[in-house]
Amino acid sequence: MLSRDRLNMDLDRQSLDLMLKLLAVDYQEEQSATVMGKRTLNRNKDRAREVYEQWKAEGGATNQPEIEDVSTGNLAMESLLSLTSRRAGEWFKEELRTLGALDHIVDTVCSCIEALGDDTTLVTDSMLENMKKIDRCLRVLENVSFVNTDNQLYLISYKAGILVASLCRALDLCEKCFPVYPINSSDDKESTGYVIYSLVLAVLRVLINITHENEFGCTKVGDQTDFIKTALTCILDTPRHVPIDMRFDMLVLSLGLLINMVEHCGVNKRKLVEAETCRSYEVTSDNSTSQVPATKALCEVFSTRFEIAKTMEEQDFGEPSTPKASPNKSGEWKESDSGIEWVVSSAKKEKEDSNDTSRVQPPENDKLDNLDDEETFTKALHRAGKHMENSIIASYVALLLGCLIQDNTMYVSQVKEHLASGSFEDLITILKKFLGFMNLTRAIGSTGGKSIAHVIEVLEGC
């Protein structure tokens, strides 16, 4: 219940220690309870279920375990996940590791992934619940491993790398599920496909964290059987099974992971260059099983996105570069997965509400003008957003190809021959724009900026 106050609540050491102790209560109860004790225990469980059911009925939680699964340990784990995924200061990240919380979370992730099995033709309700729990656990692991070398190394090394192996297996399993459970609408967040999609993004984010400027993590992930091909499939084929407006995150995260893996690891560079994979869904209309070199497939993705961005930029040349401000400033606070955010109401929604006679209505002409302005503004933003998406994806592919050839001149000709222009000119152009944009928005640190600048220098010297 404390997690309702997401903006002001923080978890102290005493509460964290209590939750960790409660995680082991279920096992102790089953082992030590007498007949009379079990009756009392069941009575208390029934009371807890009543309170939990009432809380959910009041809208206290979403994506929480079903009422039949409620137990002391389960509730403690869900509370821990809910609270720690919101705010994670440096001291808290350290406490999670030293007090053993990471052990519990990793063990939960691995056991749930193991329970998924290998059958991708039928996702049962039990498998869905496991996927949702894995997703929640990974949100915590993502936060505690972000720019925290100690936690990254701990997660990579824990039980001989069981987490890395489990995550790579989960990603492969999810990819195989998508053809059977595609997502038809981005609004259908209760569908099986959406649960799988959300899990894929969560897995990619954790893998990105543990491979960020970490050669040990890159080597460990790259050692997993056929993982390079699995990551390539996330770029080249899997997005075809999700709506267009949901593909960007998957593409960027998958490309970001491959960039991390090859930037400081020569073995992974060789594996990627030697890999054979399918062609991108964007350049072939059928589900062809023919294989091409990974560098060729990636160059095709770059050329496609670069040309789209270039065409959109040329079409917009001479038009006002900055759309006028939205005519509608009204809105409301709404709760989302990222916390509390302000959502602007649209003029169209206001028009739908115009039948409410209790409100003072503006003149009809003003309302129509506002609606037209709002639609024009929305279209301009949408077009700018699509141009930015294509530019960013092209930039990520260019960065990946640049990382492949830095310190490996033997790969230069192999990459060049697959580029439409036969040179690195387009890669350099898009990367310079990307670096300028990132510096302008301060979206990257000094290390990231230097890495991109170095790749540009390498490409210019080839």
Tell me which amino acid residue 219 is: T
Q: Most distant CA pair in the chain: distance in Å?
A: 82
- Going residue by residue through the chain, which has 462 residues, state the pLDDT in tens, using 9 for 90 and above: 444 444 444 567 777 778 777 776 654 555 555 677 777 777 777 787 787 777 777 665 555 555 555 677 777 777 777 666 555 577 778 888 988 889 989 999 999 999 999 888 889 999 999 999 999 899 989 988 988 999 999 999 999 999 999 999 999 999 999 999 999 887 888 899 999 999 999 999 999 999 999 999 999 999 999 999 999 999 999 999 999 999 999 999 999 999 999 998 999 999 999 999 999 998 886 666 789 999 999 999 999 999 998 888 777 655 544 444 444 444 554 544 444 444 555 544 544 554 554 445 555 555 555 555 555 545 554 555 676 889 999 999 999 999 999 888 888 988 999 998 888 999 999 999 998 888 776 656 556 788 899 999 999 988
Tokens 């082991």 sit at which residue? Answer: 24
**Residues ≥6 apart with Cβ < 8 Å to 48:** 70, 75
Determine the Cα–Cα distance for residues 311 and 390; give it in Å rounded to an integer: 11
pTM above 0.75, yes or no: yes
The domain limits of the chain are 1-87, 304-460
